[in-house]
Structure 1
């Protein structure tokens, strides 16, 4: 692609380009900080659940980078849509799997351990 400025991209309104860039940069910075926190948490816990959440945060960072690349004309719009929507699906699956792997709720386990009223 030949685009180097968001102001030259036909699908992007030049008046909104600065706003879009700021939003994407803030998203990239925020998700990168969260990803680093996830790495630290995973290094301390070493559990599959922490690894899944860290992977999700990493995908969010890549989504932001792809979005920024699209605004600057480096990533074609078709690739942008494939990556972004593919990652949306992957993030949803990973989060749901992490929830599934978390096991039963604490209340359920507590109810199993309590003696029934007929035992009194």
Structure 2
């Protein structure tokens, strides 16, 4: 697939392309910042809960980068959908597992190991 001008992509309304690009760029910047914060938090705490959340934030960043690549014609739409929906599922599983590990019965262990 070749690099294309996002204003020439057939599946995007040319009037909405600037809005789409702005949203994706802001999402990519925001999720990158959050992922970096997650890495710092994990490096300080080094617990499974922080690792799970950091991986979920990393997947959010990957989703934004794939979306930007799709708009510029670098990522085919099929790959875009596979990555994005796969990431959605994985993020949901990671967050639910982090919540499960933080639930009743894990409270005493969490307080001792995480320092919360």
TM-score normalised by length of structure 2? 0.88
The whole-number CA distance in structure 2 between the counterparts of 1:9 and 1:89 is 28
8 A contact 1:35–1:54 mirrored in 2: yes
Instruction: Please give the secondary structure, in 2, of the residue aligned with 1:14.
Output: coil
The whole-number CA distance in structure 2 between the counterparts of 1:22 and 1:105 is 44
8 A contact 1:3–1:9 mirrored in 2: no
**Equivalent residue for 1:64?**
64
- 1:4 offset after TM fit, Å? 1.8
**Equivalent residue for 1:6?**
6
Residues 1-120 of structure 1 mapped to structure 2, 5 A cutoff:
1-104=1-104
Structure 1 unaligned spans of 5+: 110-120
Structure 2 unaligned spans of 5+: 109-116
- 1:104 offset after TM fit, Å? 1.1
